Amino acid sequence: MIVVLKPHVDAEREAQLIDWFKSLGLGVHVSEGQFQTVLGLIGDTSSVDTDLVASLDIVDTVKRVTETFKCANRKFHPEDTIVEVGDVKIGGGNFTVIAGPCSVESEEQIVGIAKAVKAAGANMLRGGAFKPRTSPYDFQGLKAEGIELLKIARQETGLPIVTEIMNASDLPLFEDVDVLQVGARNTQNFDLLKELGHVKKPILLKRGIAGTLKELLMSAEYIMASGNENVILCERGIRSYSDYLRNTLDLAAVPMLHELTHLPVVVDPSHATGLARMVPPMALAATAAGCDGLLIEVHNDPPHALCDGAQSIRPEEFAKLYSKIQAVREASR
């Protein structure tokens, strides 16, 4: 249930109302907007008399919400969430480009790529240290050493760092990481999501390999209901009937998610297509579709990359793409 309060209500009256809802065994999610406050009631609201609540003089409107996701629901929180990572803002009209190699391979590689993508305009550096690979015989990432190398790249460039966490027991290693990524294979690892709800760091949550939008939102809900509201959603393509591409990029997910949720939505055209030459057109299409940012794999030497070389673009290609992205943003304003 959603209770929208009248503008500028007395704080004491608001607190009394919240306490009353809590005494009925309900959770209360408070969203302070610029003009009005929205109370989202979580739990079994069937015994709450909506007419009685609506009749209170501090209440503007009361609505029952049937969707299963609450904290992530735009009805609970009408204004866009802006996730802040240092000086970088994601969501609410800001556009954030996250770039870097699939895997951190060496200091020279990650620092070189970080400098190149920064010079081209990227806002954050992403590189995998813990890699979820389909085959146990493939490169599994440099793990703790990879995180240390990302920190060196951050020191050299000032770019905040994003890297994937696969297991909550590794959390101490991620203490100094700016954004934790949950990969497509872990989108429904509910124990991991709950643990990330206790972390006060932004989470980049990818859509599951065959995940629906509702499943993605419910995964975000796990993190938010556990106390962490800094969630960035990522559309990275889903498994479908596509034969020549790694996945099918679901571009309509962008405006639909914007309708359903206040959380920022970024698009990953690299994993969505699996082919470097498909990345620029899909990045531009995603920008036109209104995403809040992009996650793009960039490698200095794609043929020799230890992971995802086929879908990695070179720094020069990234720089060209970056200016086209700005042109599309300008044109769709």
DSSP code, position 80: P
Asked whether position 173 contacts Mn ion by CB under 5 A, the answer is no
Q: Of all residues in this chain, which one has the CB nearest to ligand PEP in the complex?
A: 183
Residue 258 touches which member of ligand PEP, Mn ion, none, C-beta under 5-8 Å by kind: none
191: exposed, middle or buried (Cβ count in 10 Å: 0-12, 13-18, 19+):
exposed
Q: 190-197 vs 213-225: helix axis angle to the nearest 10?
A: 40
In the complex, least distance from residue 86 CB atom to Mn ion, rounded to whole angstroms: 24
DSSP per-residue codes, 280-298: HHHHHHHHHTT-SEEEEEB
| Binding partner selected for residue 196 from ligand PEP, Mn ion, none, CB under the kind-specific 5 to 8 Å limit | none
Q: Which residue number places its CB atom closest to Mn ion?
A: 102
Query: Beta partners for 103?
Result: 128
> Read out DSSP for 249-279?
--TTHHHHHHHHBSS-EEE-HHHHH--GGGH
Nearer to ligand PEP, 37 or 186 (CB): 186
Minimum Å gap between C-beta 270 and Mn ion is 7
User: Taking CB under 5 A as the rule, does residue 165 contact Mn ion?
Assistant: no
* CB of residue 271 to ligand PEP, shortest distance in Å: 4
Of 132 and 158, CB closest to Mn ion = 132
Distance separating alpha carbons of residues 110 and 159, to the nearest angstrom: 12
Closer Cβ to Mn ion, 5 or 182, answer by number = 182
Question: What residues line the site for ligand PEP (CB under 6 A)?
Answer: 102, 128, 132, 183-185, 206, 236, 271
Q: Which two tokens stand for residue 198?
A: 């206790």
Which of Mn ion, ligand PEP, none does residue 206 bind (CB under 5 to 8 Å by kind)? ligand PEP
Longest dimension (CA), the chain: 68
Which listed residue (195, 268, 308, 317) binds Mn ion by CB under 5 A? 308
Binding partner at 236 among Mn ion, ligand PEP, none, C-beta below 5 to 8 Å by kind: ligand PEP
Find all residues with CB under 8 Å of 41, minimum gap 6, and list them.
Answer: 1, 2, 3, 21, 26, 27, 28, 29, 48
Q: Which of 39, 99, 102, 232 is close enough to bind Mn ion by CB under 5 A?
A: 102
184 binds, among ligand PEP, Mn ion, none (CB under 5 to 8 A by kind): ligand PEP
CB 184 to Mn ion: min, Å:
10
Contacted by 132, from Mn ion, ligand PEP, none: CB < 5 to 8 Å by type: ligand PEP
Q: How far apart are CA 299 and CA 39, in angstroms?
A: 46
Q: How far apart are CA 117 and CA 299, in angstroms?
A: 10
Quick one: which segment of 86-94, 149-157, 207-215, 306-314 binds Mn ion (CB under 5 A)? 306-314
Contact residues for Mn ion, defined by CB under 5 A: 102, 308
